[in-house]
Chain A
């Protein structure tokens, strides 16, 4: 089974702090994603990566950055946390398109509160 592990299940930070959310997958997937989940809005894509050191902006990248130094690890960075970034953050991974349209596999999510 594919395992996507997010480093924290709950996290509380203060406004202005630099926040790191870590995600590790064990299936050697090329693609990794960070989503934000808010009630009534579903999941929205923040950033994704299709290879080491490669990144692409999603639909809501403002206030976030990412890092992918190793294939199995994809980090989401809140440069200066603000209260409107309080949310659930979900990481996902998937094989490339050549894998037959493989679905994305998700981590358990990090519920982040910014005070």
Chain B
């Protein structure tokens, strides 16, 4: 079974600085998807970024980018120019490219932005 591990329960960063959230996963599959979701206090889970395992290029969405290391099974999220609105719980998630489309989530990292 696949597992996802986020080893940082909490992180904090100064506004306008850069922060990196870590995520590792374990799988025997070669084709899969990886996601970062954001959950602000409003509780709405919002997709931040998605990476397809067969693509070597790291995904980027505006200030958000990932460092995908397939051999190391690592998928970190970098937030540049942090803003107060980035404060939230961040979840890393794995999904197989075949079969059931269920997501396997990490434990989450609570990110605080200091003004």
For B103, give the chain A residue with the smallest CB separation.
A104
Number of B residues whose C-beta is below 8 Å from A? 27
| Residue from the list A43, A45, A88 in contact with B91, Cβ < 8 A | A43
When distances are taken between beta carbons in the complex, the residues of chain B under 8 Å from A108 are 42-44
Q: Are A94 and B105 in contact (CB under 8 A)?
A: no
- Contact partner of B102 (CB less than 8 A), chosen from A33, A90, A103, is A33
**Interface residue SS majority, chain A:** strand
Q: Can you name 30 A-B residue pairings with CB atoms under 8 Å?
A: A33-B102, A40-B9, A40-B108, A42-B4, A42-B6, A42-B91, A42-B105, A42-B106, A42-B108, A43-B93, A43-B103, A43-B105, A45-B102, A48-B100, A48-B102, A50-B101, A90-B45, A92-B45, A92-B103, A94-B101, A96-B101, A97-B97, A97-B98, A101-B50, A101-B95, A101-B97, A103-B35, A103-B47, A104-B101, A108-B43
Point out residues on B near A: beta carbons under 8 Å. 4, 6, 9, 33, 35, 37, 42-45, 47, 50, 52, 91, 93, 95, 97-98, 100-108
